[in-house]
Chains A and B, each alone.
Chain A
Amino acid sequence: MKISVNVNGCTRESDVEARTLLVNYLRDELGLTGTKIGCDTSQCGACTVHMDGKALKSCTCLAVQADGCDVTTIEGLAQNGDLHPMQQSFWDNHGLQCGFCTPGMIMATTALLTDNPNPDEDEIRHGLEGNLCRCTGYHNIVKAVAAVAQAGGD
């Protein structure tokens, strides 16, 4: 099936099998391998991207469902070489260990702050229910998100 998806601000035209998952389309067709496949069962959140501004587990969406939509991946956050404030905050607060869950964490937490710009710690932890860190490094992830919220920018 022919699809046209606006990925990170560029229109991409592709011909995909209907059963192609959005995450496979992003990684294999477009080469955007920042989006990870962790569990493949809609649980771990490593594949989180934004579709039309809302966080989505891209392993639980068909590429054909993204036809005509705007998709943002981790590669689309930095602007002109400057890290997104959330990326910078993960760096500053050591919000990662092995780094595998990080792209999904950052996509989920940027969406979280869009919905709720001033979350308390409970709300941050609740908002991260859909993202698993196998290193169990949650504490600094929560600190990183809180720091961005306090700075008032996402």
Chain B
Amino acid sequence: MWPAEFDYARPSSVAEALQLLADNEDAKLLAGGHSLLPAMKLRLNEAPLLIDISRIEGLGSISNNGSLTIGALCTHADIAASADVQASCNALATATGMVGDQQVRNWGTLGGNVAHADPASDPPTVLVAFNANINIEGASGSRSVAASDFFMDLFTVDLEPGEIITSIEIPAHAHDGSAYVKMPHPASRYAVVGICVVLQRDGGRCSGAHVAVGGATVRAMRSPGAEAALRGSALDDAALDAAAAALKEDIANDLIGDMSFPEAYRQEMAGVYLKRAVRAAGG
């Protein structure tokens, strides 16, 4: 299958890419291409111009200066293998290591992943749980958007035409354990449900918890109810039951479903996988 015809440009700087975007309405950015090209081959998407940003220098590194900064061009394989990521945000290493398969992880980028915002993708759920910020450059300057605001709806993000994601920043967040667990679709391995839990402990008690869910919902989102149920608890079975119930209530209006995995099933499984995630995070 061939995509529809398009022109191709390969800028060498962000400034040059922004100018190309400004000069070419409906142009699209190409990085790893692992979300865009399949959609273009199926004629679900087309563009008069693809702007290949994959060789722009400076967007492909991971640094840790208190907060963890991941260049938008970092691939899932880069991130999964990064000692910095494993040390400060291990759930993200787990999640990026679960994306697609070896070949996809080698070339698909985190910037492209968040821009595409497939609700069944793994990394957005972790980014929301860790209060990540999406750093964006545009013609009028740069801005930073909290992941929980950035993911707005199915395949819909807070990114204007003419803007480029340059990095994803994960603020330092002291925690005692984190985990991302998912129920993979048996064929595609996309998340039917994905849960990320970040726990803080104080002795035998949970002093703080972040809980985010994806796969089951239109967008990756936090569950304030589940977090409140875990906070202050001994993370015993009763607390986990309460957290699962609260999670299911929090996502009730945002569920997605299909013939194989209807909304009610995903909602129920979200509760099951929340419990598994808490245990996997050491709770």
A: residues with CB less than 8 A from B are 1, 17-21, 24, 40-43, 45, 48, 54-57, 59-62, 64-65, 108, 111-112, 115, 127, 129-131
Contact = CB atoms under 8 A, between A and B. Distances in A.
A60 B40 CA distance: 10
B282 interface: no
Given A60-B33, A60-B38, A61-B37, A54 B107 contact: yes
A-side interface mostly:
mixed
A108 B6 contact: no
Contacts, number: 79
Q: Which of B4, B50, B103, B107 has the most CB of A within 10 A?
A: B103
24 contacts: A1-B8, A17-B5, A18-B5, A18-B6, A19-B4, A19-B5, A19-B6, A40-B41, A41-B1, A41-B41, A42-B34, A43-B188, A45-B103, A54-B107, A56-B103, A60-B104, A61-B33, A61-B107, A62-B30, A62-B33, A62-B50, A65-B33, A112-B102, A130-B101
A56 B260 CA distance: 30
B277 to A, nearest CB: 20
A47 B77 CA distance: 20
B1 A57 contact: no
Given A129-B100, A131-B101, 18 more contacts: A18-B50, A19-B3, A42-B104, A54-B77, A55-B102, A56-B103, A60-B34, A60-B107, A61-B37, A62-B30, A62-B33, A62-B37, A62-B50, A65-B33, A65-B54, A111-B102, A115-B102, A129-B101
